[in-house]
Chain A
């Protein structure tokens, strides 16, 4: 699966607010203090246990073998074996504890993000493509997950190990330890330089990787033009240049990687030689035993392991901060439309909906999208809004849901201004059915309830019966799993599901945004029938694209250029021979 290029990458110019990000990371860890404490305990245990093994080796060499005591040898081996098994167990517990805790943090962060994002205004959704939103919730959180599982604790682990190893070594031989000591800060400094040098280089490589995809997309999309103008050779030459740039960037980055790792790798035999050179003389002089010498060599191996991990830690920390920064920026956003201070709760729509001289535009400087729109819709009646795309049909219904606030005029439900109503109660009383939908991964039943498990199954069955859709849901049983956003259902079938959902959700007033797509006659009949049932039971506003719909509603509103041009029944408007009659011919004529 392919989830968009470039968007998750670090922008080298991006200014990261380190303090806010650090606060976020800390606030995520704080509630799980106990879990991290347990992880630290496992960590300390496993590290200290693993450090005991070279001492066993020393014991075998210095004590058991010279004494020619096979029982001591057996005992030492048993200790070594048992010790290692214990280490593996503690290490297992440690890693698992970190995975569990990290997952807990991630799951709650993801939930917090989704809940926060669902509360944001629709403007946020029109400004950000869906791919970017999902990346924030999924990719950025998994980057942070790597921080909590791989880095946060391991860094302490490695530091603890360094201290303990040097402590043990110093206990056995201070002089030899002091000789080794400077090697490690030097490596640390080297690592720091390495990361500083390579991180811009590797960002360049990632950018070029994204550029390759972008170039390919653009050229292959324009292949017709390229061929038409016989530009194949030039296009190849460009691809060649880009390939070459990527190649050189990779080679430039790679040389540092190879040299750095091999240099650190070389320091190991160098340190070994130092220990043998200096320690050997001590052994000959009799101030050091062979066992301690071997122990030092074995410790060296353990000390070099974290060094290879260290550069990885630094890059994880860098990436986590840019991911955390993006997350904290989202969490800092506040919606403009919120519950009013003293909300009026709408329990039921008794009289109806009224628009009086409503003016609306999306920004102070923009053009009016609605100009002086008025209409009223009494309870139990139906109304269709027709007109050209972009003419203001959807904006009318958006105001009803208070997705946006209007500038002048009145939008009232039962005589109360919608801005005074509790948002939740308003949106619970009025429902929106959009026919062009993706279905959620889950069962057909879940989708009909819109994932609301508080709705009893009986209501779903009742709704299906009221809509006369029993046969349809026999063919597509309620337990059927929806896969890939509904790829196993046809467009028409998805629309039937969305209409049935409207009945299940059981709101008094419904806004129905009809789909424009055409479909086979069987599904068309099903949908027409379903809408007729809805008309019988609900107060309906329909953004209409279907002939049968406009014929059956009580009233039609012809909206064009943001204005209500005509209003009346189908018959009246047709007889008037105005804009609607032309529109009707165009939309539903026989071409």
Chain B
């Protein structure tokens, strides 16, 4: 809990004025709350002793005034707490998001997208946000309310206070015990619900098998036994829940009963007034409520603490990218890429994902990367783009270490398509442009033409301004690929990295693409992961990867003559194309 508060403190400090307002108005509200029972006491005593209409009216107006004061103080405190909850949620998410989008591929291997989204969305919105201000400062307000009420009670009548406060420690103790039992019940309930979800998921995914074997009835029967389990868990949780709620909402009645008998006798004896007795009945309920906020603080605080740890884990990750000492040079025109024994460690183990990668690619060359799934083709492209940082050997650009170059200016000279064409919500134009400045409509047109997407443009109702839907939902897989290619070649890069970017094209379209590409960009170095036999054999240089290293490299003719792994892969590919099988 202390570490949670420590973590939140700098954020509060950044909003010092607002936080002070929250605390001050919270205290104000706590103090005002203690006044109303006093006014009621005045009225009752006024009415029972010597009725004075002026005095009564004064106190009645005071009730209104205090009520309005509570309204205002609460309005300010609550509005600002709500503001801070939402504001801090925004700041947390910004901080984490801005941090992680600059991290390298090691990080994205370690955390799945689903996991990251859960942390950035649910953890921050559901668990941390409310606690970061409301959770903590409602607790503080409750402490003040409790203190103020007890203080006023003791000043008013210590003996009555004793009777009202007597049951509190027992209630607190019992409620903590019940609370613990309840936590256990919640876990059981959650497990029974998860079991049902698992069952349904298995049942619906395996629907063919169930139907084919006519086992619907036994599935239903089994489901019945599971739902019965959840029913039992729900009921036994509910039992405890009711009792638990009694501690907070109804437990004041024991204090009230003690008050009636002890206080009533004191009024009869003349050691207390009737007004005090009534006022204490209100106080009795006022001391129970803050206890609820306090216990809530502990529960929510523990949950927030767990989520904060999950967030911190992301913030603590450092990028693996290394930069050469002595400043970064802006990249000029890239004429040559030179890999010398480059290697990459597996972030999850001791083995190497890539090792001894040595090859050269010069202006105007196309290098084809071939090999089985998982042999390291995509990883090699990531090294070339510095999405991953090589751990061994060197990578030279125009003869100079890649690490001496300014990263952004280097990447500006490189075009890239990922294996699963990354299409973002927005229009076709947004996806090609990616917010890059100084792009003319002619450049877009040219890129569409080269990428063989131009012939499809008439199919889009609004042309370039057609929305592609979430992750490109409303356009076909082939269109996505060509859109990604258009994006990559838009600014005429010196290096083009294509990760299986043409798999959904038919042979003829692909051929047209390569021809158009060479016409428009004769000097571009192209590294292409590809499965198309024709593309492979017409490449200037071929790298055959196997288990993270280059098994064979050379031209098609050289490698065929070698009669090794390349020949096998190539022939198999030819056969597959003949049989119409997709890779």
Contacts and interface: CB of A to CB of B under 8 A. Distances in A.
A330 interface: no
Interface stretch (A11-19, A30-38, A206-214, A365-373): A206-214
Nearest to B36: A269
A96 B239 CA distance: 7
Given A227-B411, A269-B67, A283-B47, A451 B219 contact: yes
Contacts of A76: 260, 264
Contacts of A65: 264, 267-268, 274
Given A389-B581, A440-B202, A219 B101 contact: yes
A73 B473 CA distance: 76
B56 A280 contact: yes
8 contacts: A222-B423, A225-B417, A231-B434, A236-B101, A277-B60, A290-B47, A297-B40, A507-B213
Nearest to A124: B207
B418 A451 contact: no
B218 interface: yes
B227 A95 contact: no
Most chain A beta-carbon neighbours within 10 Å: one of B56, B264, B274, B568: B264
Nearest to B231: A103
B572 A586 contact: yes
B401 interface: no
A223 B101 contact: yes
Interface of A: 1-3, 57, 60-61, 64-65, 68, 70, 73-74, 76-77, 80-81, 84, 88, 91-92, 95-96, 99-100, 103-104, 106-107, 110-111, 114-115, 117-119, 122, 125, 130, 133-134, 137-138, 209, 212-232, 234-236, 239-240, 243-244, 246-247, 250-251, 254-255, 258-259, 262-263, 265-266, 268-270, 272-273, 276-277, 280-281, 283-284, 290, 293-294, 297, 388-389, 401, 403, 423-424, 427-428, 430-434, 437-442, 446, 449-454, 484-485, 505, 507, 511, 560-561, 579, 582-583, 585-586, 589-591
Interface of B: 36, 40, 43-44, 46-48, 51, 53, 56-57, 59-61, 63-64, 66-68, 70-71, 74-75, 78-79, 82-83, 86-87, 89-90, 93-94, 97-98, 100-102, 105, 108, 113-114, 116-118, 120-122, 125, 193-216, 218-224, 226-228, 230-231, 234-235, 238-239, 242-243, 246, 250, 253, 256-257, 260-261, 264-265, 267-268, 274, 278, 281, 382, 385, 387, 407-408, 411-412, 414-418, 420, 422-425, 434-436, 470-471, 484, 487, 497, 568-569, 572, 575-576, 578-582
Given A65-B267, A114-B223, A432-B213, A77 B260 contact: yes
Given A216-B121, A224-B418, A290-B44, 8 more contacts: A57-B281, A220-B116, A222-B422, A226-B422, A246-B89, A269-B66, A280-B43, A451-B218
B18 to A, nearest CB: 13
Given A77-B260, A258-B78, A434-B206, A247 B51 contact: no
B195 A441 contact: yes
A114 B60 CA distance: 62
B171 to A, nearest CB: 14
Nearest to B256: A80
Contacts of B125: 209, 212
A114 B203 contact: yes
Given A220-B113, A273-B67, A1 B253 contact: no
A244 B425 CA distance: 18
Most chain B beta-carbon neighbours within 10 Å: one of A76, A220, A438: A220
A61 B224 CA distance: 57
A437 B79 contact: no
A139 to B, nearest CB: 10
B60 A273 contact: yes
Given A73-B268, A218-B470, A442 B222 contact: yes
A3 to B, nearest CB: 7
A111 B224 contact: yes
B264 A64 contact: yes
A388 B412 CA distance: 42
Contact of B47 (A57, A280, A389, A452): A280
Given A138-B197, A294-B44, A216 B120 contact: yes
A106 B287 CA distance: 39
A214 to B, nearest CB: 6
Contact of B261 (A74, A220, A452): A74
B278 A80 contact: no
A488 to B, nearest CB: 13
Contacts, number: 384
B194 A254 contact: no
Contact of B51 (A64, A284, A485): A284
Nearest to A65: B267
B79 to A, nearest CB: 6
Contact of A115 (B117, B213, B216, B253): B216
The 5 residue pairs across chains A and B that have the minimum distance between CB atoms: A269-B67, A222-B422, A432-B212, A452-B218, A427-B214
Contact of A133 (B46, B66, B200): B200
Given A401-B211, A586-B576, A236 B94 contact: yes
B579 A388 contact: yes
Contact of B93 (A1, A138, A243): A243
Contact of A284 (B56, B243, B418): B56
Nearest to B195: A441
Contact of B201 (A134, A255, A428): A134
Most chain B beta-carbon neighbours within 10 Å: one of A64, A77, A388: A77
Contact of B121 (A104, A212, A240, A403): A212
Nearest to B261: A77
Given A1-B194, A96-B238, A276-B63, A431 B121 contact: no
A222 B418 contact: yes
A583 B581 CA distance: 10
Contact of B86 (A251, A281, A437): A251
B412 A451 contact: no
A432 B208 contact: yes
Contact of B209 (A99, A229, A434): A434
A438 B206 contact: yes
Contact of A2 (B89, B114, B417): B114
B205 A438 contact: yes
Contacts of B435: 231, 234
A122 B213 contact: no
A451 B550 CA distance: 51
A258 B75 contact: yes
A416 B17 CA distance: 85
A45 to B, nearest CB: 16
A240 B98 CA distance: 10
Contact of B227 (A61, A107, A125, A427): A107
B21 to A, nearest CB: 15
B78 A99 contact: no
B443 to A, nearest CB: 15
